[in-house]
A and B are shown apart, each in its own frame.
Chain A
Amino acid sequence: MAHAPVLAVIDQTETKRRPPLDVVYEWVTTVDHKKIGLMYIAYALIFLLVGGFEAVLMRIQLAVPNNHFVSPQVFNRLFTMHGTTMVFFMGMPILFGFGNYLVPLMIGARDMAFPRLNAFSFWISAFGGALLYFSYLGGDGLYGMGSAPDVGWFAYAPLTAKVFSPGHSTDYWTLSILLSGIGTTGTALNIMTTTICMRCKGMKLSRMPLFVWLMVVTSFLVFVAVSPLTAAQIMLTLDRYLGAHFFDTQAGGSAVLWMHFFWIFGHPEVYILVLPAFGFISEMIPVFSRKAIFGYPAMVAASVAIGFISLSVWAHHMFTVGMGPAGNTFFVFSTMVISVPTGIKIFNWLGTLWGGKIIFKVPMMFSLAFMFQFLIAGLTGIMLSAAPFNWQLSASYFVIAHFHYVLVGAIVTALFGAFYYWYPKVTGRMMSETLGKWHFWLFIIGFHMTFDVMHVPGLLGMPRRIYTYEAGRGWDTLNLIVGIGAVFQTVGTLIFVYNMVRSYRHGELAGHDPWDAWTLEWATQSPPPAYNFAVEPTVRSRRPLWDLKHPEDQDENFE
């Protein structure tokens, strides 16, 4: 196991203070995967705050019955913008930001396969997000017509037809999603090509870190799931601008076809968002349990299986449409089947924890919260997958609580953990553990106040998307608790933002490998230089840094 002492750094040019315009120019024109990744993350964090602000406004409106904090029209815009922002302009960009930053580092490459395409993808996605919010200014097509989109995040036909949504707000929605779809597809193509063609010597597919594997599955899902949405948005644009009849029920068009097209995208989208989160967890749990991941091949197989099965479950969003017993039965079973590979993952994470020397740092605390919350989210998912149960609760707050459990309880929680875990790599400084623990507890307590309690009004019959409700239905106290939980989560998130800003200047210096981790990104400096690795690494096992630190106990003997 020869590892001759090589220099870890090529050049150490003096970094002078440059004029701000130079810095801006450098960031705008950059094709470096790390800078683009960071821009993705920064842009997504801004949208996280915007989307979170919209959620808080909605919770204030719903905190007490018969409230008039916002008007019904504004409420419609709020939930549409909240959903669209969080899925398209927060969820996907932030995960692809992490993917952009980490995938080349983890596979020992110096950049992505197509750096300029990478920059193009980022900027077109960013432009899509800007376009969506420009609708607040430019949405009025006619006097008195709405400004921001108000058709809901899945924009069911025929509400989106020109007759029912005059003005330009729906066009802003369509075009911004179209642009974001192009950007996402470009980035997915890049990540896929990078992992196939840019791996360093010895980095076989069977040795790739699980995060990279999950990004590959995610990228594949983007190809086959985001493209249908792009196609459907093209159709909707043709309907609205050229008078085509795809979703025009007056001319024989089908509103249900839109539902199918949307959910063919919509359900795999959940997995596009959650698979990178699985990747974060699969990287963090072994490091903080001081054990190699349990059942690596089963984890990879389960990820690929989830990818494929997720393509056949979309119509469980449509049980109330009336697809007939055969269709219902198929989608009930396919939905239940997907819990098997997901269960394998939970089992393997538990297997990694079992007998490990668990270190309760903030990333690990978020990982454990993720496992618990994701399990509950999966269980309510299985409840909803049963068609008769779904008929009772479709479009109720039970569904809202279920998918926010996935999106916030699993994905956002894993993301927070990932921020604490990789922040030292990106900035060279640790985030504050004390503030991190405040963030963790406030956010988790707030999360459970909001989303545990939110199931109950759903069971009591509270439908989604209502802007207010009468007193005395048994929903009042519950909604108030839900609202108070939102305050806790907001405070937690603000502490997190403060922690990031503060640690950038005042955090403890991290060194290149603060967690004593095993994947290649920890082999280079923090922050990594533009060329990532001074020499191209060679890999002999799944844990190259373990091999380096323990010459007497090589991993390859056990794989």
Chain B
Amino acid sequence: MMQTTSTIPISAQAETPWVLPSRGIVGMACLIIAESAIFLIFVVAYIYYIGRSLSGPTPAQVLELPILSTICLLSSSFTIHYAVGALRKDNVRGCTLGLAGTVLLGAIFLMMTAREWYHLIHDLGLTIRTNLFGTTFYSLVGLHASHVVIGLTMLTIALALSLRGSVTEKHAERLEVLSLYWHFVDGVWVVVFMVVYVLGR
């Protein structure tokens, strides 16, 4: 039961500089780890059920390689990277341009996914109920697409703010956090593409 005047240990002399990583980036990294685990389970389910559908259609019959949308999504990683870099150098105009390009490319990707799904559902009659392929395909690609929607929403907000002129250099770190998420969404697409359209076909 000691009682001292100061109960909090403090030290007057400065030690070595004390720098800790940014909260936003660490938090986003944690989110990415958790999200990767979710995707991993869906990918495992997809791979496990390849070729186990009791009825058609099979992936080889209905799936086409989404080359153009893949190019769009992957290049949007470069535009967002450019936007962050521009904002760091206080080039707000460049940042707005980069964001606009990212939103545009992301929207094209989403539209092409929508067209693919429309074709599959309307013309070929493949739904989530049809067979195991439908089940795993729509859930895995849909899970990814829902992440694109979330990312695109946030990017659009950032674009709107930057068009309004309220984005400045001091927001560079926040935009970087958002860009990390977007890079993650792109990276997941590479996996989804390989599993669904290459391995699965």
- Chain A residues 222-251 with CB under 8 Å of chain B are 222-228, 230-232, 234-235, 238, 242-246, 251
CB of B67 closer than 8 Å to a CB of A: no
Nearest-Cβ distance from residue B200 to partner chain A, whole angstroms: 16
When the two chains form their complex, are residues A113 and B34 in contact, meaning their CB atoms are under 8 A apart?
no
CB of A523 closer than 8 Å to a CB of B: yes
When the two chains form their complex, are residues A189 and B37 in contact, meaning their CB atoms are under 8 A apart?
no
CB of A383 closer than 8 Å to a CB of B: no
CB of A197 closer than 8 Å to a CB of B: yes
CB of B166 closer than 8 Å to a CB of A: no
- A189-B30, A197-B21, A257-B45 are known contacts. Are A227 and B38 too (CB-CB below 8 A)? yes
Interface bracket on A: 35 or more
- A113-B27, A227-B35 are known contacts. Are A4 and B7 too (CB-CB below 8 A)? no
Report which of A6, A192, A235 forms a contact with B139, defined as CB distance below 8 A.
A235
When the two chains form their complex, are residues A245 and B41 in contact, meaning their CB atoms are under 8 A apart?
no
When the two chains form their complex, are residues A244 and B129 in contact, meaning their CB atoms are under 8 A apart?
yes
Q: How many A-B residue pairs have CB under 8 A?
A: 169
Report which of A198, A223, A235, A245 forms a contact with B20, defined as CB distance below 8 A.
A198
CB of A534 closer than 8 Å to a CB of B: yes
A1-B12 Cα distance, complex, nearest whole Å = 8
A245-B49 Cα distance, complex, nearest whole Å = 10
When the two chains form their complex, are residues A197 and B26 in contact, meaning their CB atoms are under 8 A apart?
yes
Count residues of B near A (Cβ-Cβ below 8 Å).
Answer: 49
CB of A511 closer than 8 Å to a CB of B: yes
CB of A536 closer than 8 Å to a CB of B: yes
When the two chains form their complex, are residues B20 and A196 in contact, meaning their CB atoms are under 8 A apart?
yes
Nearest-Cβ distance from residue A395 to partner chain B, whole angstroms: 25
CB of B68 closer than 8 Å to a CB of A: no
- CB-CB under 8 A from A357, the residues of chain B are none
CB of A176 closer than 8 Å to a CB of B: no
A4-B7 Cα distance, complex, nearest whole Å = 10
When the two chains form their complex, are residues A6 and B8 in contact, meaning their CB atoms are under 8 A apart?
yes
When the two chains form their complex, are residues A223 and B37 in contact, meaning their CB atoms are under 8 A apart?
yes
CB of A165 closer than 8 Å to a CB of B: no
Mask of A92-120 contacts with B, CB within 8 angstroms, 1/0: 00000000000000000000011000000
When the two chains form their complex, are residues B45 and A539 in contact, meaning their CB atoms are under 8 A apart?
no
CB of B5 closer than 8 Å to a CB of A: yes
When the two chains form their complex, are residues B8 and A533 in contact, meaning their CB atoms are under 8 A apart?
yes
A229's nearest neighbour on chain B, judged by CB, is: B41
Binds B, one of A299-307, A327-335, A409-417, A542-550: A542-550
A537-B4 Cα distance, complex, nearest whole Å = 15
Mask of A160-175 contacts with B, CB within 8 angstroms, 1/0: 0000000000000000
CB of A535 closer than 8 Å to a CB of B: yes
CB of A524 closer than 8 Å to a CB of B: yes
When the two chains form their complex, are residues A193 and B26 in contact, meaning their CB atoms are under 8 A apart?
yes
A1-B37 Cα distance, complex, nearest whole Å = 47
When the two chains form their complex, are residues A196 and B21 in contact, meaning their CB atoms are under 8 A apart?
yes
- CB-CB under 8 A from B41, the residues of chain A are 227-228, 231-232, 261, 264
- A113-B27, A245-B131 are known contacts. Are A535 and B10 too (CB-CB below 8 A)? yes
CB of A277 closer than 8 Å to a CB of B: no
Nearest-Cβ distance from residue B2 to partner chain A, whole angstroms: 5
When the two chains form their complex, are residues A246 and B23 in contact, meaning their CB atoms are under 8 A apart?
no
When the two chains form their complex, are residues B34 and A185 in contact, meaning their CB atoms are under 8 A apart?
yes
When the two chains form their complex, are residues A228 and B38 in contact, meaning their CB atoms are under 8 A apart?
yes
CB of A252 closer than 8 Å to a CB of B: yes
Binds B, one of A134-142, A386-394, A512-520: A512-520
When the two chains form their complex, are residues A8 and B6 in contact, meaning their CB atoms are under 8 A apart?
yes
When the two chains form their complex, are residues B128 and A242 in contact, meaning their CB atoms are under 8 A apart?
yes
When the two chains form their complex, are residues A192 and B128 in contact, meaning their CB atoms are under 8 A apart?
no
Apart from the given pairs A251-B131, A523-B8, A538-B11, 16 other A-B contacts in the complex at a CB distance below 8 Å: A1-B11, A2-B13, A3-B6, A3-B10, A4-B12, A198-B20, A224-B37, A227-B38, A231-B37, A244-B135, A252-B54, A253-B49, A511-B1, A534-B8, A540-B9, A549-B4
- 20 contacting pairs across A/B (C-beta < 8 A): A5-B6, A113-B23, A197-B23, A220-B33, A223-B34, A224-B37, A227-B41, A228-B40, A228-B41, A230-B38, A231-B38, A238-B128, A244-B129, A245-B135, A253-B132, A523-B9, A537-B10, A538-B11, A544-B9, A548-B6
* Interface residues in chain B, defined as those with a beta carbon under 8 Å from any beta carbon in chain A: 1-13, 15, 18, 20-23, 26-27, 30-31, 33-42, 45, 48-49, 52-54, 128-129, 131-132, 134-136, 138-139, 143
Q: Which 8 A-B pairs have the closest CB atoms?
A: A227-B37, A231-B41, A5-B5, A538-B11, A243-B129, A244-B135, A223-B34, A2-B12
* Interface residues in chain A, defined as those with a beta carbon under 8 Å from any beta carbon in chain B: 1-6, 8, 113-114, 185, 188-190, 192-193, 196-199, 201-202, 219-220, 222-228, 230-232, 234-235, 238, 242-246, 251-254, 257, 261, 264, 511-514, 516, 520, 523-524, 533-540, 544-545, 547-549
